[in-house]
């Protein structure tokens, strides 16, 4: 008997093997896409925290008193050029700027002593002296994008 083609069983076997391989490949690609997206969100959170730190270094008059906090919106950090626009990794035409903010809480007292003094100007232009060397600030970043919300968000 002379065979010149594949039998139906051979074709079904090849198709089933290919579908199993495609299922494994799709799940692996999806896993890596989610991992890459989460690393973008983590980078955004680190950038927001660094921008808030730099903003408060330049605007020391906005540092909250002991056991108080201040909310700094991402839009203010972007407007003052401490932060670049936060692109949403899921939807490229959206950004994460509107609802994103950082809450900075002061856990220590700002001491007015003779050591490590720094000068800054308040909002009215008055020269203020402050010891911010041992300042203990806690930063809680709330990043809200299309399908992501930071764990520190209320």
Q: Is residue 6 part of a domain?
A: no
Question: Which two structure tokens, joined as six digits, stand for 103?
Answer: 């809450």
Cα–Cα nearest to 86, from 52, 41, 33: 41
Structure confidence at residue 153 (pLDDT): 84
Separation between Cα atoms, residue 65 and residue 62, nearest integer Å: 9
Note down the domain range covering 107. Answer: 11-142
Q: Is residue 70 part of a domain?
A: yes
Cα–Cα nearest to 48, from 21, 22, 72, 12: 72
Give pTM, 2 decimals.
Answer: 0.70
Q: Is residue 151 part of a domain?
A: no
Q: Is residue 40 part of a domain?
A: yes
Q: Is residue 1 part of a domain?
A: no
Q: Is residue 148 part of a domain?
A: no
pLDDT in tens, 11-57: 999 999 999 999 999 999 999 988 988 898 899 899 999 999 888 88
Number of domains making up the chain = 1
Q: Is residue 150 part of a domain?
A: no
Q: Is residue 80 part of a domain?
A: yes
Residue 25 is classified by DSSP as H
Separation between Cα atoms, residue 52 and residue 141, nearest integer Å: 10
pLDDT at 149 over 90: no
Separation between Cα atoms, residue 134 and residue 85, nearest integer Å: 31
User: In which element (H, E) is residue 69 found?
Assistant: strand 69-73
């Amino acid at each position: 008997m002379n065979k010149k083609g594949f039998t139906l069983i051979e074709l079904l076997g090849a198709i089933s093997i290919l579908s199993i391989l495609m299922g494994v490949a799709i799940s692996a690609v999806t896993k890596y896409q989610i991992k890459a997206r989460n690393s973008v969100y983590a980078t955004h959170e680190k950038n927001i925290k660094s921008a808030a730190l730099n903003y408060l270094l330049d605007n020391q008059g906005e540092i909250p008193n002991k056991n108080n906090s201040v909310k700094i919106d991402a839009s203010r950090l972007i407007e003052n050029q401490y932060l670049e626009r936060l692109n949403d990794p899921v939807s490229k035409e959206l950004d994460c700027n509107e609802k994103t903010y950082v809450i900075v809480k002061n856990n220590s007292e700002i001491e007015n002593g003779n050591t490590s003094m720094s000068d800054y100007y308040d909002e009215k232009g008055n020269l203020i002296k402050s010891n911010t060397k041992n300042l203990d600030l806690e930063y809680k970043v709330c990043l809200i994008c299309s399908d992501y919300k930071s764990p520190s968000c209320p």
